[in-house]
Each structure stands twice: as C-alpha cells, then as structure tokens.
Structure 1
Amino acid sequence: MPELKLHSNPDARPRQSFDELTKYIRVRSEEGSRFVEFDFAIGDPSLFVELVMPPEAFKHFCELNRVVHMTPEQMAAVDDELEKWRYGEDTLMSRNQNRT
C-alpha cells in the first residue's frame, strides 16, 4: 500500500488556537428579559449562530469564553450583509418589496 503524505505550505502563517480567537457576541433581546437572545461568533463577527440562554447561564458563558461585544460598525456590517441576502437585487423577495 502506498504511503500517503500530507502536503503543507512551509510559508503559511501559524494558525491561531481556538482559545486565541476572539469570541464576539451581540445581544438581541431587551434588557431584563426572561431569556437572553444573542449572536455568537468566533473569529469573524459575520459568521455567527443565534443562541438563547437564561441570564445567569449567559453571564457564565460570556465569562468562560471571554467574549467581546460587537462594535456598532461590526453590527452594521453584519446587518448590511443580511439585507443583501434577504433583499438582494436579483431575488424574488427584492421584487416583492417595491409593490404599491
């Protein structure tokens, strides 16, 4: 059986470990709600999952992951990207938005 070798780029930058990547959050729920609804991203604020937790679990989650709140600029960029996907120029939905 032939021996398989993995090819790697010796000039590639070293990859960050998971713990070194920035973890971002964006809280979507109102303050004082029974549950905290939020977006959670690792390394790139535009690639996130939506999560829901009780407030105490959310607080623990944030401490454990050493999260950073998304900046207003990051939130605007995420929102702009979502709008393109929802109502982009060449979609059926975009044509429905301009009905009178």
Structure 2
Amino acid sequence: MELSPAAPAGFDLSRRFVRVTGTRPNGFVEFEFAIGEPELFVEMILGKEAFEEFCTANAVTMLDPDGSTVVGGADEDWNWRLADATRTRFR
C-alpha cells in the first residue's frame, strides 16, 4: 500500500523557494529552503558549489534576502532563526 501526503487545497508542492541568509568566511552558504509556501522553511548550510547544484536540481525561486518570513505581523518573539541562537547566550 502506497501512502501519498495530502496537501491542503492551493498548496503547490512543485513550488520551491530559497532565501540566502548569509555566507561564511569558509565559503558555506546559509539559506532557507521552502516547498509550497516560503513562510514555512528549513534552515540549511551547504558549500557554494553544492548550494548551486541544490538550487538547480530543485528549480528554486530565489527570494529577497531582506524579506520577512513572518506573515501577518506576528509577534517579534517568533521572528528569529536557528542561526540566531549561535549569537545568543541562554541561561
């Protein structure tokens, strides 16, 4: 029996998005990758060459690096990325 994920109406699984959020001195590219909707993403890091291959293989739409990923003016407490944790001291 084969299970296929059910996508909500209007959710297009063929749409792929990338937003570059930074580059590291060692050449790695930090970016967000989303399928269907740019607001729901995972954070990833790849070398420059692997990043370019990834983008080509997924036929991504590049998003503005300064664009907001929070919809509807959500509270600022939720407007952060996992990468921000590397610059924050937790108690």
Quickly name the TM-score band, shorter chain normalised: 0.5 to 0.7
Match of 1:86 among 42, 61, 77: 77
Question: Hey, which bits of structure 1, 4+ residues long, moved more than 4 A?
Answer: 13-16, 79-83
Structure (1 or 2) with the greater strand fraction: 2
Unaligned runs of 5+ in 1: 1-12, 89-100
Unaligned runs of 5+ in 2: 1-8, 80-91
Structure (1 or 2) with the greater helix fraction: 1
3-state SS of the aligned residue for 2:75? Answer: helix
Cα distance, 1:57 vs structure 2: 0.3
Counterpart AA for 1:37: E
Work out which of the two has the higher radius of gyration on C-alpha atoms and give 1 or 2. Answer: 1
How many residues end up aligned between the 2 structures? 71
CA RMSD of aligned residues (A): 3.4
- TM-score, normalised via structure 2 length: 0.59
Query: Quick one: higher RCO (CA 8 Å, sep 6+), 1 or 2?
Result: 2
Show CA shifts across 1:34-68 (max 9, x none): 10000000010000000000000000000000000
- TM-score, normalised via structure 1 length: 0.55
